[in-house]
């Protein structure tokens, strides 16, 4: 009897302990504050990776291969003589981009003018959320390689202290080089002449020019670089806008030209650009496009000129077609920001189009 009673008491005590422990755990869980649910993502601000001559903050879905065809015709200045530039000198670029993750894309492209081969990277740093983070932020960068024959890269320097007696066999050419060096030093404060200047001097010949070029050319002269941060917001289902700031660098430039159009001579191999784009949807598949970019390390009354763009985009889930008028034909952003010689204020405008196609794996 005594043993039975003690066992019953133990069972009651154990049951009471489990009840207290269970209640305590439940109260502890209730006291832990709930983590706020993450705000849902806003719909993408733009339909395509590309916007006339600009990049956008958006990327295709992960594991997507993107083909891009960019084509700019000649300027419309000649009117019917070349059918408003359609039969004129044009530029074309083919590219392939692959979205590795939802936030990271790598790409490669090839451009007709200057035989440029470019390698790019694009990464989404932040995304706009409904009633949450107000903008999308994306980084874009590329490295471009100029693959023309090295004789076309003739802006390299011929220093005044080169041994011209050994390098140049033609006495007239050698004398004119020395005179040009003196003129550059007197008029520009430069201790060199450019290869382009040398090709215009009397007495120049293929043998001596080749000898001079080989003494000064470097493979690094072929490279240019571009980096950009983009900030975009989808304000409503009809309107989206983007602001961007970018930096670019060329290892080789024409020092005389760039010193004349750059605000600071120390920036002559570089430029900084600000740009803005806006899209207005007029139907589920059609949008009106506007863009503007302005180099700010160069003077505003000389080249490189700003780039205006206006056009129409028609898009589906796997295709985007853009047709537009623009003033820059470089197709790569650093070319448009450093070497845009088309003055839009004087009507130097070109017709262009972009086509993209997506394949998701």
Residues 261 and 202 in one domain: no
Lowest mean pLDDT among 65-74, 201-210, 258-267, 308-317: 258-267
Which residues constitute the domain of residue 173?
157-216
Residue 24 lies in a domain: no
Average pLDDT over the chain reads: 87
Q: What is the per-residue pLDDT for 152?
A: 76
Q: What is the per-residue pLDDT for 320?
A: 96
Residue 36 lies in a domain: no
Q: What is the per-residue pLDDT for 32?
A: 53
pLDDT at 2 over 70: no
Q: What is the per-residue pLDDT for 27?
A: 54
Mean pLDDT of 281-308: 92
Residues 270 and 317 in one domain: yes
The CA distance from 258 to 226, in Å, is 18
Lowest mean pLDDT among 53-57, 73-77, 134-138: 73-77
Residue 131 lies in a domain: yes
Residues 201 and 328 in one domain: no
Domain end residue (candidates: 216, 241, 262): 216
Residues 205 and 68 in one domain: no
For 10, residues 6+ apart whose C-beta sits below 8 A from its C-beta are none
Task: Say whether 152 sits in a helix, a strand or coil.
Answer: helix
Residues 208 and 228 in one domain: no
Q: What is the per-residue pLDDT for 142?
A: 98
Residues 208 and 301 in one domain: no
pLDDT at 50 over 70: yes
CB 291 within 8 A of CB 273: no
The CA distance from 307 to 295, in Å, is 9
What is the CATH number for 139?
Answer: 2.40.160
Backbone angles phi, psi at 9, to 5 degrees: -65, -40
Q: What is the per-residue pLDDT for 294?
A: 94
Domain end residue (candidates: 190, 216, 242): 216
| pLDDT tens-place string over residues 306-342 | 999 999 999 998 999 999 999 999 999 999 999 999 9
Residues 289 and 247 in one domain: yes
Residue 339 lies in a domain: yes
Residues 132 and 199 in one domain: no
pLDDT at 55 over 50: yes
Residues 315 and 343 in one domain: yes
Domain end residue (candidates: 216, 236, 260): 216
Residue 32 lies in a domain: no
Mean pLDDT of 81-104: 89
Q: What is the per-residue pLDDT for 1?
A: 47
Using H for helix, E for strand and C for coil, what is the string for the chain?
A: CHHHHHHHHHHHHHHHHHHHHHHHHHHHHHHCCCCCCCCCECCCCCCCCEECCEECCCCCCCCEEEEEEEEEEEEHHHHHHHCCCCCCCCEEEEEEEEEEECCEEEEEEEECHHHEEEEEEEEEEECCECCCCCCEEEEEEEEEEECCCHHHCCCCEEECCCCHHHHCCCHHHHHHHHHHHHHHHHHHCCCEEEHHHHHCCCCCCHHHHHHHHHHHCCHHHHEEEEEEEEEEEECCCCEEEEEEEEEEEECCCCHHHHHHHECCHHHCCEEEEEEEEEEEECCCCEEEEEEEEEECCECCCCCCCCEEEEEEEEECCCEEEEEEEECCCCCCHHHHHHCCCCCHHHCCCEEEEEEEEEEEC
Taking the whole predicted model, whether its pTM rises above 0.85 is answered as: no
Residues 354 and 212 in one domain: no
Residue 178 lies in a domain: yes
Residue 237 lies in a domain: yes
CB 314 within 8 A of CB 288: no
For 114, residues 6+ apart whose C-beta sits below 8 A from its C-beta are 146, 147, 148, 335
pLDDT at 95 over 80: yes
Q: What is the per-residue pLDDT for 59?
A: 96
CB 290 within 8 A of CB 278: yes
Count up the domains in the chain and report the number.
Answer: 2
Residue 63 lies in a domain: yes
Mean pLDDT of 31-44: 72
CB 211 within 8 A of CB 217: no
Sorting pLDDT into bands at 50, 70 and 90, what band is 36? Answer: low
Residues 207 and 341 in one domain: no
Residues 250 and 211 in one domain: no
| pLDDT tens-place string over residues 233-263 | 999 999 999 999 999 999 988 766 777 787 7
The CA distance from 16 to 11, in Å, is 9
Q: What is the per-residue pLDDT for 226?
A: 98
């Amino acid at each position: 009897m005594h043993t039975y009673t003690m066992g019953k008491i133990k069972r009651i005590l154990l049951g009471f302990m489990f009840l207290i422990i269970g209640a305590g755990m439940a109260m502890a869980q209730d006291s832990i504050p709930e983590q706020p649910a993450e705000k849902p993502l806003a719909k993408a601000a733009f339909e395509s990776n590309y916007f006339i001559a600009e990049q956008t903050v958006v990327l295709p879905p992960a594991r997507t291969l993107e083909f891009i065809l960019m084509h700019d015709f000649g300027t419309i200045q000649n009117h019917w003589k070349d059918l408003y530039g359609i039969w004129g000198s044009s530029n074309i670029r083919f590219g392939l981009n692959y979205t590795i993750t939802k936030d990271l894309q790598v790409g490669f492209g090839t451009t007709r003018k200057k035989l440029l081969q470019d390698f790019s990277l694009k990464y989404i740093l932040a995304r706009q959320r409904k009633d949450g983070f107000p903008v999308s932020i994306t980084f874009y960068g590329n490295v471009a390689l100029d693959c023309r024959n090295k004789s076309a890269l003739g802006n390299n320097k011929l220093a005044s202290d080169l041994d011209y007696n050994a390098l140049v066999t033609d006495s007239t050419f050698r004398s004119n080089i020395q005179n040009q060096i003196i003129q550059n030093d007197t008029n520009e404060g430069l201790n060199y002449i450019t290869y382009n200047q040398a090709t215009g001097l009397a007495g120049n010949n293929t043998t001596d020019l080749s000898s001079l070029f080989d003494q000064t050319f470097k493979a690094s002269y072929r490279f240019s670089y571009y980096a950009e941060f983009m900030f975009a917001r989808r304000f409503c289902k009809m309107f989206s806008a983007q602001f961007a700031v970018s930096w670019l660098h060329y290892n080789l430039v024409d020092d005389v030209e760039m010193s004349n159009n750059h605000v600071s001579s120390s920036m002559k191999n570089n430029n900084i650009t600000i740009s803005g784009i806006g899209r207005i949807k007029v139907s589920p598949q059609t949008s009106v496009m506007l863009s503007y970019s302005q180099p700010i390390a160069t003077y505003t009354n000389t080249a490189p000129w700003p780039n205006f763009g206006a056009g129409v985009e028609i898009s589906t889930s796997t295709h985007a077609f853009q047709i537009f008028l623009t003033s820059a034909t470089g197709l790569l952003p650093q070319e448009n920001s450093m070497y845009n010689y088309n003055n839009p204020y004087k009507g130097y405008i070109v017709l262009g189009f972009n086509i993209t196609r997506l394949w998701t794996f």
